[in-house]
Amino acid sequence: MKLSVWAVMKGQFNKLPPVAKADLAGQTVVVLGANTGLGFESVKHFASMGAGRIILACRNQSKGQAALEKLKAETGYQKGEVWIIDLADFSSVKSFADKFEQDGGRLDLLVENAGVTKPKYEATKDGWETSIQTAREHGTVPRIVVVASELHHWGSIPKEVLARGDALTTLGSSEYCTPKKTQTFYNVTKTLNIFFVRALNARLGASTPLIVTAVNPGFCVSGLRRDFLPPISWIMALMERIMAFTTEEGSRQLVFGAVGPGVLRGEYINQSRVEEPSDFIISSDGRKAEDQLWDELIEILGKVDPRVLATVNEYLSASA
């Protein structure tokens, strides 16, 4: 699908469907980046559906606790918990996984909302560019929701990067991330988000009770652009006033991906409906890039934690 800037701007003035609803009694929901913005608004929606347990996964304990108290005050929900995770630190992610294995129980809904957009290169603790690192027995169908963006339509992976054989490492390096490239790097990371969803879905067995989707919340009032400097920050502020969805409106797409009806496996969702992703993603070059990047990702994560390879070998054996 080819999307124009005009189509994106026009879509910002659409009346969005109301939030999807479901009975989440007894279900465990994990929301990354839950202390603010889209994450917090989605948590409020899940709380209103009576979720058995909501884990607010945040980088900062005090901010997470403040969000939890706000959740209690605004909704009366009392089953929230704050867990710490920093996606820019592999050791933090491993600690979160260890804790969930021990104390988490069953995971029904995972909303991968945490993300950043940086005006310049910034490395993680592990040396990666910050943007890039980031049920049958119970009768339920677990879901993974990955927050993407329509900006993926303007993102692609250069052939010369793919030809190196270590595209993810290259994209996350300080040598590659020149000031010019970082201006559009957010678009690239959102392309990677959709590649991940499609690659994961392709490797799940047909009978696997897991739905994974990518959702576009649209251009919303958000703290995502907090690191922008003038004059870009002024332009963004003006655009928010003129055409941005509210944070709550944007969160409806996260909720739709988590509980919405229809055939959503491996799909890209925009304004509560399935849409075809970018021409690059569905092209033959895009499909080759998707497979290559998946293999690279598993190799990298397998070195971080051997549980990744064990999980892939046991559950992701379907042919891509």
Helix 61-75 × helix 37-48 angle, to 10°: 40
**Interacting residues of 147 by C-beta distance below 8 A, sequence separation 6+:** 38, 111, 112, 113, 115, 193, 214, 215, 217, 254
- Tell me the backbone φ, ψ of residue 32, rounded to 5 degrees: -80, 145
Average the pLDDT over each of 19-23, 123-127, 239-243, 289-293 and give the range with the smallest value: 123-127
Residue 287 CB partners (closer than 8 Å, separation 6+): none
Comparison of pLDDT for 261 and 255, the residue scoring more: 255
| Beta-ladder partners of 146 | 112, 214
Q: Is the pLDDT of residue 228 over 90?
A: no
What pLDDT shows up at residue 182? 77
What pLDDT, on a 0 to 100 scale, did the predictor assign at position 122?
A: 57
List of domains in the chain: 5-315 (3.40.50.720)
Whether residue 196 has pLDDT greater than 70: yes
Rounded to a whole number of angstroms, the CA Rg of the chain reads 19
pLDDT over 60 (residue 124) = no
Query: Which CA distances in Å does 116 have to 13, 34, 78, 217, 297?
Result: 25, 14, 29, 15, 20
Residues 6+ away with beta carbon under 8 Å from 37: 220, 222, 223, 224, 247
Residue 152 is classified by DSSP as G
Give the chain's largest Cα–Cα span.
Answer: 55
Residues 6+ apart with CB under 8 A from 286: 195, 278, 280
Which of 135-149, 205-219, 295-309 shows the lowest per-residue confidence on average (mean pLDDT)?
Answer: 135-149
| Predicted model pTM | 0.90
Residue range 267-295, pLDDT digits in tens: 999 999 999 999 999 999 999 999 999 99
Instruction: Give the model's confidence band at 251: pLDDT under 50 very low, under 70 low, under 90 confident, else very high.
Output: very high
DSSP 165: S
User: What pLDDT does 294 receive?
Assistant: 96
263 vs 264: which has the higher pLDDT: 264
H-helix or E-strand containing 131? helix 130-133
- CA–CA distances in Å: residue 243 to residues 175, 190, 220, 237, 309: 36, 21, 8, 10, 44
Measure Cα distances from 94 to 4, 301, 319 in Å.
40, 11, 28
pLDDT tens-digit map of 20-67: 999 999 999 999 999 999 999 999 999 999 999 999 999 999 999 999
